[in-house]
Chains A and B, each alone.
Chain A
């Protein structure tokens, strides 16, 4: 029998992990599904002029997207909490399947199944609320997959991003590339937390968030230090608009490749940990 990958055995791993899926994640799903409902109830109690923005389907999509990111963050620790536990992880390690099959099943449930189930449920809840509540303008599900409508809505309504460069950047993307960009962002988040789930034994998500915050602070210190020392800011100040546009395009490109590299490294790390974890 092929010891690297066998489709029948992979099916068995998917079935095995699938049977563990709902018991392990249903509570987290229910809590996160309930948040938009709580926001809805809250808006019902507020004067309508203060909550108009929350009725907007794009705002609701933002909430659902943010919560789906939270689901991506917590899913590995919910679904595969014990896979590196010296005592409770023995059953997982001894399951007669290859590392690749276990890894692919983990990826399937953490990166694909969890967000799909969450988003499907959240959009269904939103639709039910939209049916029952007049001020809700339309269904979030109508716009969820229209990324350009979402981006336009953000730029039309928000005063935060005043610079045209961001709009130019997003408008320069093809619809397919915009979806790929979004998917890679989600993959990066998920793979980082899958890796955290494999290296930490306890408080897996919290520790990984802590590390990310520290890395972000470190990164910002380096960038600011670099900018000040090389006087980049003062040199570019004369042609600020061009500088910002150039920087935004450059940063987004760097981010895109960095996300691909980070995701690949994290996923390879997860694979290696499944293969070599000692119990």
Chain B
């Protein structure tokens, strides 16, 4: 379990987090959403130990990430947004680092490379940007770490690759593993993530499962724009209205509409979800 308590963090004069508290429970695929620059990547780096909190604490299964102890590092893997690869094949790369991870599975790596349609024989620098991302995803999943952090993993992927991404993530995620996917492209991770964490500058606006969201918020698809909706968006054939779920009716979560509704009604929805 990841626990963040009263976290303060700033880059020189830019405050990123101010007294935020957050928990990520095991066995879930979290969607970490937020506008550009709110600190999604910074939060992942703090959880990975690549940055150190100025105040407050971050712990992962009781371990302090910034100490970068092997017991911690062997259970986490961070795949940054920017594709950084070595002058080698993905196979040689994973063989080089795999030994450090106790649950590393080379057969799974080969399986994932096939499933993601990446050529095993090519070096990283001979692969396209999207292919590199998929190869690195195969590497990350084959390490079978308890915690996997993916920063904007669908950036640069074509439409079929995005579908493959969703497929392998849902297929290979176990009850023991926790995946946090940071993205601002919410449609790419629809039907994959649950719960959702929405970050704002200095604040956490939402940390809720789909069940909790549906319990409090109603997504109405209809022909007209409703006055009491938090947010309304025109869709082909009508409107989607995001509204308070006063009648406790069931509806399908539209993550993009939810995100926009939260951004437009920060305090209202934050208080509603408490």
**Chain A residues with a Cβ under 8 A of chain B:** 1, 3, 6, 9, 12, 15-16, 19, 23, 87-88, 90-91, 93-99, 275-276, 278-279
7 intermolecular pairs with C-beta atoms under 8 Å apart: A12-B99, A16-B97, A90-B80, A91-B84, A93-B50, A95-B73, A99-B68
Instruction: Give the chain B neighbours of A279 by CB distance below 8 A.
Output: 45, 50-51
Instruction: Give the chain B neighbours of A96 by CB distance below 8 A.
Output: 70, 73-74, 100-101
Contacting A at CB under 8 A, from B42-94, are 45, 48-52, 68-71, 73-74, 76-78, 80, 82, 84, 87
Contacting A at CB under 8 A, from B76-129, are 76-78, 80, 82, 84, 87, 96-97, 99-101
Interface contact A95-B100, CB-CB below 8 Å: yes
Question: What is the distance, in angstroms, from A96's C-beta to the closest C-beta of chain B?
Answer: 4
Give 11 A-B pairs besides A16-B100, A23-B87, A90-B78 with Cβ atoms closer than 8 angstroms: A3-B71, A12-B100, A16-B96, A16-B99, A87-B80, A87-B84, A93-B50, A96-B74, A96-B100, A97-B73, A276-B52
Interface contact A94-B70, CB-CB below 8 Å: no
Interface contact A278-B51, CB-CB below 8 Å: yes
Interface contact A1-B71, CB-CB below 8 Å: yes
Interface contact A94-B73, CB-CB below 8 Å: yes
Q: Which residue of B lies closest to A90 (CB)?
A: B80
Question: What is the distance, in angstroms, from A20's C-beta to the closest C-beta of chain B?
Answer: 8
Instruction: Give the chain A neighbours of B70 by CB distance below 8 A.
Output: 1, 3, 6, 9, 96-98
CA–CA, A117 and B78, complex, Å? 35
Main DSSP-derived SS at the B contact region: loop
Instruction: Give the chain B neighbours of A9 by CB distance below 8 A.
Output: 70, 100
Instruction: Give the chain A neighbours of B45 by CB distance below 8 A.
Output: 279
Interface contact A95-B84, CB-CB below 8 Å: no
Instruction: Give the chain B neighbours of A88 by CB distance below 8 A.
Output: 84
Question: What is the distance, in angstroms, from B192's C-beta to the closest C-beta of chain A?
Answer: 24
CA–CA, A94 and B73, complex, Å? 6
**Chain B residues with a Cβ under 8 A of chain A:** 45, 48-52, 68-71, 73-74, 76-78, 80, 82, 84, 87, 96-97, 99-101
In the complex, the number of residue pairs spanning A and B with C-beta atoms less than 8 Å apart equals 59
CA–CA, A278 and B97, complex, Å? 21
CA–CA, A97 and B84, complex, Å? 21
CA–CA, A279 and B11, complex, Å? 12
Question: What is the distance, in angstroms, from B130's C-beta to the closest C-beta of chain A?
Answer: 19
Which single member of B49, B69, B82 contacts A98 (CB below 8 Å)?
B69
Instruction: Give the chain A neighbours of B78 by CB distance below 8 A.
Output: 90, 94
Q: Which residue of A lies closest to B63 (CB)?
A: A3
Which single member of A1, A23, A90, A276 contacts B84 (CB below 8 Å)?
A90
Which 3 pairs from chain A and chain B are nearest by CB? A96-B73, A96-B74, A279-B50
CA–CA, A9 and B96, complex, Å? 13
CA–CA, A276 and B73, complex, Å? 15
Instruction: Give the chain A neighbours of B82 by CB distance below 8 A.
Output: 87
User: Looking at B70, B74, B80, B82, which has the most chain A CB atoms within 10 Å of its CB?
Assistant: B70
CA–CA, A4 and B45, complex, Å? 22
Interface contact B96-A94, CB-CB below 8 Å: no
Instruction: Give the chain A neighbours of B68 by CB distance below 8 A.
Output: 93, 99, 275
CA–CA, A279 and B45, complex, Å? 8
Instruction: Give the chain A neighbours of B50 by CB distance below 8 A.
Output: 90, 93-94, 278-279
Q: Which residue of A lies closest to B70 (CB)?
A: A96
Instruction: Give the chain A neighbours of B97 by CB distance below 8 A.
Output: 16, 91, 95
CA–CA, A23 and B88, complex, Å? 10
Instruction: Give the chain A neighbours of B73 by CB distance below 8 A.
Output: 94-97
CA–CA, A94 and B99, complex, Å? 14
Instruction: Give the chain B neighbours of A6 by CB distance below 8 A.
Output: 70
Q: Which residue of A lies closest to B101 (CB)?
A: A96
Instruction: Give the chain B neighbours of A99 by CB distance below 8 A.
Output: 68
CA–CA, A91 and B49, complex, Å? 12
Question: What is the distance, in angstroms, from B214's C-beta to the closest C-beta of chain A?
Answer: 36
Question: What is the distance, in angstroms, from A270's C-beta to the closest C-beta of chain B?
Answer: 15
Q: Which residue of B lies closest to A98 (CB)?
A: B70
Question: What is the distance, in angstroms, from B263's C-beta to the closest C-beta of chain A?
Answer: 29
Question: What is the distance, in angstroms, from A111's C-beta to the closest C-beta of chain B?
Answer: 23
